[in-house]
Amino acid sequence: MTSNTIKKISIIVPVYNEEEVINKFFQRTRKILEKIKYKWELIFVNDGSTDSTLPLLIKLAEQNLDIKIINFSKNFGHQQAVTAGFDYANGDAVISIDADLQDPPELIPKLIAKWEKGNEVVHAKRKSRKDGILKILTATIFYKFLNLLLQTKIPENVGDYRLLDRKVIHVFKKLPEKNRYLRGLSSWVGFKQTFVKFHRDKRHAGKTKYSLAKMLKLASNAVFSFSRFPIRLARYLTVIFGLSSCGIFIYVLYSWIQDNVVPGWASQILIMLIFTSINLVILSIISEYVSRIYNQVQGRPIYIISDTYNINKSKHE
């Protein structure tokens, strides 16, 4: 791109049943984008919404060619929706942001300013957040525990609100893994990284789409994708209980020689429970890795697109 060519900023917005907030989000975001010196595109990825989110988006897209829509055939998940946005974005910098207005669009110019200074990954980091105490506590514990296990540390108090330079997006497109944890990948890719701090608000409307099951799945992706601790844990447990079994065998043999064996089923049941439990733990860890390998070699796409709107159109071009 030549120096006199106006660059473009792509905004990726994954949405799932956000009919209550989508218009407000667009109004606030458009005000910000119309003030920046770059061309822009706003890419909404509809992740199988079952409410009126898609019709509302189509109405907005009909009024502005720089509003683009990727409509999934069903709900594939937040990380897959953001990935689809990356695949279709053609901006020199790409910003991912959720539509619930907890992450303020007003931060976009600050992210761009950091990018203009040569940073290639700019994370939006929460100085404070208006979430429930339980959510804040569990998130804090999780990231501290996760970073104890990882060589590549994942920034704490950082979600999926960030700016990525075009060269980083090219790297993301080459990554073949199916079970994606974008927060971890954003740190793993390297490049010059920095932060912009902000205060996180409550949801403007509606309810969070991250159920406990989805949060646990995201946590599982983080642990199994970026740490070898689970498989090492299985090995450690095998060694510990293997040595314990040797000790128990020696004790039983010694008692038999001393003719001091007391018949009883309690000790046998206890030993069986211990070794059965450890076998189940090890098998569950191995099965998790095997299931991920199976999912990977199947080669199925991580998302399927039903329709697109304005993808190859722009009022700027």
Tell me, what DSSP letter sits at residue 179? Answer: S
Q: What is the pLDDT of residues 78-130, one digit of tens each?
A: 888 999 999 999 899 999 999 888 888 999 999 999 999 999 999 988 876 66
Tokens of 181: 């944890």
Strand order in 305-309's β-sheet? 193-200, 121-129, 158-165, 93-96, 8-15, 39-46, 67-72, 305-309
Residue 254 is which amino acid?
Y
The pLDDT assigned to 217 comes to 60
Residue type, 84: A
* Residue 204: predicted pLDDT: 52
pLDDT, tens digit (0-9, with 9 covering 90-100), for 211-242: 556 566 656 666 666 566 666 666 666 666 66
Render pLDDT for 42-52 as a digit per residue (tens, 0 to 9).
Answer: 999 999 898 99
CA proximity to 190, closest of 168, 210, 166: 168
Per-residue pLDDT, 317:
47
pTM: 0.68
Alpha helices (H) in 117-263, listed in sequence order: 133-149, 166-174, 182-188, 212-226, 229-257
Under DSSP, is residue 34 helix (H, G, I), strand (E, B) or coil? coil
Angle value at C-alpha 38, between 34 and 44, nearest 5 degrees: 65
* Banded model confidence at residue 25, pLDDT cuts 50, 70, 90: very high
- Cβ–Cβ < 8 Å for 33, 266: no
The 10s digit of each residue's pLDDT in 171-226 is 888 887 777 777 778 877 888 888 888 887 665 555 555 555 656 665 666 666 65
Count Cβ atoms below 10 Å from residue 23 Cβ, excluding itself.
14
